[in-house]
């Protein structure tokens, strides 16, 4: 049986302002009504697979759990206290399985890829399994459709003939080429795009990692020796894992092993690495435009326009990207979308928050939208999911007014606990211990008005929290 390993780290800065540090692209609905991580898990249906291992950042743990729970594919979730690239992350998954006395075939997948021909994907994965079981370290090479400069490449060596699979010994991994070199690769027919998807036995990966990067393996073993289980999560030791070298599986193992095999995959794959990629995969109107949301267009061609909140109108522009969100607007030439990350760097350098969070912020109990902000006041629309509860907490520097818009709120305000319904309210002075819970079966919506000398999210003293937040 195959054990999927879903890699759900990464920030997706090239898709800003849609993708941000606390809500990157793998958790967004980019290509369908499912999020990208949900699509990754759902396309495994029909393969002989067990529940997945998902590896993610500590700060994304509740998003991952909720999105996988929505599609009944939760499995286990390993939390990385700090990012250390793919080689250590995969080692954590392999060691976790081996510690249980198991040695499954691991199928390593990125959580942010689009694959339209899912039946072909499943066929190729199933056909490659015997190679992995025989001890090879398999990578899936995307059959190139054009001379692409944004991907690394894999050069195929000697052909491997099998009953159900065609594979090649890996001759060489090469970095992202310039355009003339990419054109040469395409013309030769010897090269595939490097997909970042792999398949191998857990024990074989550990054997090769021990051979080539024993320092990475030692750090991962130490971090799991002191790991703890926290609800749905496996929390590795932060100190031990932070000491682990940062390296990709390509550099650490695949470029060094004598057992690397590439299996071609031609399944309409796209890693959605830029807004141009979104334009590529979406249906277009007669003028080559892709419109999402409330968009009007006149004399405009070959644009991608995404409107989340407002009417966006374009006049006489072409080959552009326009993205409107609640708190930021991006306008870019489609030929320069790889440089969106430069804007993110400027935002970070200016100590602004727009690189990290959206105006609407998700929490394990629901979400809130900061709809207005002044020097000494802030207004939020808070939505609490049925049965969920915010932490029992207190603020030193701000008071709060809560007004229920819809649903039923169970409120703790100092020594009193009571119910509030539509149009009812309560006032919570600074320094008073309080809590908010939704005891009903419908979402609870309320308006929170904060006032005080300091309104930062770090002015929270938690006394009790069902989600394990400190």
Boundaries of every domain in the chain: 2-270, 283-345, 360-464
> What pLDDT, on the 0 to 100 scale, is given for residue 321?
98
If you average pLDDT over every residue of the chain, what do you get? 94
- What percentage of the chain has pLDDT greater than the value 70? 99
Picking from 250, 300, 202, the residue whose alpha carbon sits closest to that of residue 2 is 202
Q: pLDDT digits over 223-275, tens only? A: 999 898 877 799 999 999 999 999 999 999 999 999 999 999 999 999 998 99
- Whether residue 181 contacts residue 222, with contact meaning beta carbons closer than 8 Å, is answered with no
CB 170 within 8 A of CB 157: yes
Q: Is 424 helix (H, G, I), strand (E, B) or coil?
A: coil
313 pLDDT higher than 80: yes
Question: How far is Cα 104 from Cα 206, in angstroms, rounded to an integer?
Answer: 12
Q: Helix 86-99 to helix 214-225 angle, to the nearest 10 degrees?
A: 50
Q: Tell me the C-alpha distance between 135 and 380, whole Å.
A: 55
Domain 2-270, what architecture? Alpha-Beta Complex (3.90)
Quick one: fold of 360-464? Jelly Rolls (2.60.120)
**Average pLDDT over every residue of 194-217:** 97
For residue range 74-106, list pLDDT tens digits in order.
899 999 999 999 999 999 999 999 999 999 999
Amino acid 163: pLDDT: 66
Q: What is the pTM of this model?
A: 0.90
| Bridge partners, 229 (sequence order) | 234
86-99 helix and 202-212 helix, angle to the nearest 10 degrees: 130
Residue 467 is predicted with a pLDDT of: 84
């Amino acid at each position: 049986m195959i054990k999927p390993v879903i890699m759900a780290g990464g920030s997706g800065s090239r898709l800003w302002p849609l993708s941000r540090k606390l809500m990157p692209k793998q958790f967004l609905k980019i290509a369908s009504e499912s999020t990208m991580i949900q699509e990754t898990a759902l396309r495994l249906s029909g393969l002989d697979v067990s529940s997945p291992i998902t590896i993610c950042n500590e700060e994304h743990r509740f998003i991952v759990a909720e999105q996988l729970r929505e599609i009944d594919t939760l499995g286990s979730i390993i939390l990385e206290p700090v990012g250390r690239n793919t080689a250590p992350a995969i080692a954590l998954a392999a060691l976790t399985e081996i510690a249980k006395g198991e040695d499954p075939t691991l199928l390593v997948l990125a959580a942010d890829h689009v694959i339209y021909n899912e039946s072909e994907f499943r066929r190729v994965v199933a056909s490659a399994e015997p190679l992995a079981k025989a001890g090879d370290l398999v990578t899936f090479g995307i059959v190139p459709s054009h001379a692409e400069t944004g991907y690394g490449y894999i050069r195929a060596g000697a052909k491997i003939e099998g009953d159900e699979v065609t594979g090649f010994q890996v001759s060489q991994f090469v970095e992202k080429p310039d355009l003339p070199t990419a054109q040469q690769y395409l013309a030769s027919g010897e090269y595939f795009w490097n997909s970042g998807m792999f398949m191998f036995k857990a024990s074989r990966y550990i054997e090769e990692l021990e051979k080539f990067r024993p320092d990475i393996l030692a750090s991962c073993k130490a971090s799991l020796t002191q790991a703890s289980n926290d609800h749905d999560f496996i929390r590795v030791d932060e100190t031990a894992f932070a000491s682990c070298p940062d390296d990709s599986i390509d550099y650490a193992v695949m470029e060094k092993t004598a057992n690397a095999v590439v299996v071609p995959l031609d399944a309409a794959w796209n890693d959605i690495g830029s807004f141009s990629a979104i334009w590529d995969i979406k249906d277009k109107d007669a003028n080559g435009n892709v419109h999402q949301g409330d968009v009007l267009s006149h004399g405009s061609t070959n644009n991608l326009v995404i409107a989340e909140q407002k009417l966006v109108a374009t006049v006489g522009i072409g080959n552009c990207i326009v993205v409107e969100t609640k708190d930021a607007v991006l306008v870019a030439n489609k030929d320069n979308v790889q440089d969106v990350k430069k804007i993110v760097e400027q935002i970070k350098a200016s100590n602004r928050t727009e690189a990290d969070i959206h105006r609407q912020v998700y929490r394990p109990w629901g979400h809130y939208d900061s709809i207005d902000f002044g020097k000494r006041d802030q207004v939020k629309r808070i939505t609490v999911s049925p049965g969920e509860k915010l932490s029992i907490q207190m603020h030193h520097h701000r008071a709060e007014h809560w007004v229920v818009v819809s649903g039923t709120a169970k409120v703790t305000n100092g020594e009193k606990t009571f119910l509030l319904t539509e149009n009812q309210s309560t006032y919570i002075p600074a320094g008073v211990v309080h809590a908010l819970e939704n005891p009903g079966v419908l979402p609870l919506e309320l308006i929170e008005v904060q006032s005080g000398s300091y309104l930062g999210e770090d002015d929270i003293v938690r006394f009790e929290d069902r989600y394990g937040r400190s």
